[in-house]
Amino acid sequence: MDGEIKYFKRITMSLTDIQICLKYLDKTLICEDDVLCRALSEAIVISYSRPFSGYGKKKIPELKKEFKVTKFTESEEKMHERVLRLRHKVIAHSDEDSYGVNFHISKLGDLNIAFPTQRRIPTLLSIEDIYIIKKCCSKIEEYLFEEQVRITNILPEGRY
């Protein structure tokens, strides 16, 4: 029973993250400011990925992953994996390859001077990506609601 209670809490937190992600996705579709669009893209990646990463020290269980196999299309599965990679390689941890950072050293008299160059700041999400992520979020949200109902039906009345 304790496992189901913890899992219900995980589902509830995940549902909140996915619902917030859906709001960010909608805002991104009407965004015209490059800096704001980048910030929204990062927020999308973070809120979408959070349900699939750990939740701190309380050892709340991972989401069950079987829903992806039966609910995601191939393109949605690829996008799901891409968003999780973006979270890991670009958002949470700076990845040299993603940013394309190089530099060269030039001599000026007795001084060495570094000239850093950055080939690109990674573009996170295209409009097409946004639409695919929205579909993924809707399927995740549906799964989470189903799991909430399932667990609600097996727990006795009480405060948890």
Report the 3 state secondary structure along 3-26: HHHHHHHHHHHHHHHHHHHHHHHH
Tell me: the pLDDT tens digits for 113-157?
888 776 556 678 999 999 999 999 999 999 999 999 999 999 999
Residue 43 is predicted with a pLDDT of 96
Residue that wins the pLDDT comparison between 129 and 64: 129
Residue 2 is predicted with a pLDDT of 83
Q: How far, in Å, CA of 62 to CA of 23, rounded?
A: 24
Residue that wins the pLDDT comparison between 158 and 2: 158
Q: How far, in Å, CA of 147 to CA of 52, rounded?
A: 15
For the CA atoms of 133, 135, 136, 138, what is the dihedral angle to 10 degrees?
Answer: 120
Tell me: the pLDDT tens digits for 90-105?
776 665 655 566 778 8
| pLDDT above 70 (res 71) | yes
DSSP structure class, residue 92: I
Query: Domain-by-domain residue ranges, the chain?
Result: 2-95+126-154
Task: Name the average pLDDT for the chain.
Answer: 86
Split at pLDDT 50, 70, 90, the class of 88 is confident
* Residue with the two structure tokens 């990674």: 122
Tell me: the pLDDT tens digits for 38-60?
899 999 999 999 998 866 666 67
Prediction pTM value: 0.78
Residue 67: strand, helix, or coil: helix
Residue 16 is predicted with a pLDDT of 97
Q: How far, in Å, CA of 90 to CA of 42, rounded?
A: 9
